[in-house]
């Protein structure tokens, strides 16, 4: 994987429009999942710290990813972990919460920071602290209109809703103004992974990419 600037990583996430959120129980299947996603057109993936041995998995996978694919780390809630995953090769750092020291560590290492926020106050605080994209989480109880409502007074902020994103509704969030969506369980069918049916993951990837492709801000 080539070294990218923080700005080019953010631009690549915006082009990808979908970030696959990896929370698998069997890390031995990770590379097969990654390849299935790539085949389906998904070009950005975060490995969460809830995956056993996540840091070492990132370290092993990073040099084997094709050019243009973005590999990030998720569920990063402290600066020390941020340093570890950056050293392992993560190109962007995602968190379920806003921790200023994590954002600062990312900027120090020229890595994109995507902290998790829920309220407009949190979102603006994270943006002002240097977040590159703000993850709206959990978006499950919200809807695309929330993104549009937040962006009305805060048009400068880049938002990526995560939680409640489906293969069918992903494009609605993009049309509401989100720069990308984070997709986990709807994209990464746990039973299909357990059964080794990676063709299902590829098909899911194609469906969600189709949903966001061509979606325009309304």
pLDDT at 63: 94
pLDDT band for position 114 (50/70/90)? Answer: very high
- For residues 76 and 26, what is the distance between their CA atoms, to the nearest angstrom? 20
Question: For the chain, what is the radius of gyration of the CA atoms?
Answer: 16
What tokens were used for 178? 């989100």
pLDDT at 25: 86
CATH top-level class for 6-212? alpha beta
pLDDT band for position 218 (50/70/90)? Answer: low
What's the pLDDT tens digit per position in 34-80?
A: 999 999 999 999 999 999 999 999 999 999 999 999 999 999 999 99
What's the pLDDT tens digit per position in 137-147?
A: 999 989 999 99
Kindly list the domain boundaries of the chain, sorted by start residue.
Answer: 6-212
Task: Return the active site residues.
Answer: 46, 135
- Provide the 10 A C-beta neighbour count for residue 11: 14
Tell me if residue 87 falls in helix, strand or coil.
Answer: helix
Backbone angles phi, psi at 76, to 5 degrees: -95, 115
What's the pLDDT tens digit per position in 126-140?
A: 999 999 999 999 999
What's the pLDDT tens digit per position in 84-95?
A: 999 999 999 999
Residue 149, C-beta contacts closer than 8 angstroms, at least 6 positions apart: none
Residue 18, C-beta contacts closer than 8 angstroms, at least 6 positions apart: 42, 44, 170, 180, 181, 183, 187, 205, 208, 209, 212
- For residues 4 and 206, what is the distance between their CA atoms, to the nearest angstrom? 26
Locate all alpha helices (DSSP H) within the chain, ordered by sequence. Answer: 6-16, 30-39, 54-61, 79-88, 100-108, 120-128, 144-151, 170-175, 190-194, 198-212
DSSP 163: S
Judge contact between 36 and 202, C-beta under 8 A.
yes
- For residues 75 and 145, what is the distance between their CA atoms, to the nearest angstrom? 26
């Amino acid at each position: 994987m080539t070294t990218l600037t923080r700005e080019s990583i953010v631009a690549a996430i915006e082009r990808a429009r979908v970030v696959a959120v990896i929370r698998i129980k069997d890390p031995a299947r990770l590379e097969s999942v990654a390849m299935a996603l790539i085949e389906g057109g998904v070009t950005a993936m975060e490995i969460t710290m809830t995956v056993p041995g996540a840091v070492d998995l990132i370290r092993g996978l990073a040099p084997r990813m094709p050019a243009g694919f973005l590999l990030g780390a998720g569920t990063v809630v402290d600066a020390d972990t941020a340093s570890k995953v950056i050293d392992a090769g993560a190109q962007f750092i995602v968190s379920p919460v806003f921790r200023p020291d994590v954002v600062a560590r990312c900027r120090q290492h020229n890595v994109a920071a995507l902290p998790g926020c829920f309220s407009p106050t949190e979102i603006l605080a994270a943006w002002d602290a240097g977040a590159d994209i703000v993850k709206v989480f959990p978006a499950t109880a919200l809807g695309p209109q929330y993104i549009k409502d937040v962006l009305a007074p805060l048009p400068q902020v880049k938002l990526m809703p995560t939680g409640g994103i489906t293969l069918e509704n992903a494009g609605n969030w993009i049309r509401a103004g989100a720069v990308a969506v984070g997709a986990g369980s709807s994209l990464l069918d746990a039973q299909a992974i357990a059964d080794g049916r990676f063709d299902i993951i590829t098909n899911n990837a194609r469906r969600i990419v189709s949903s966001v492709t061509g979606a325009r801000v309304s």
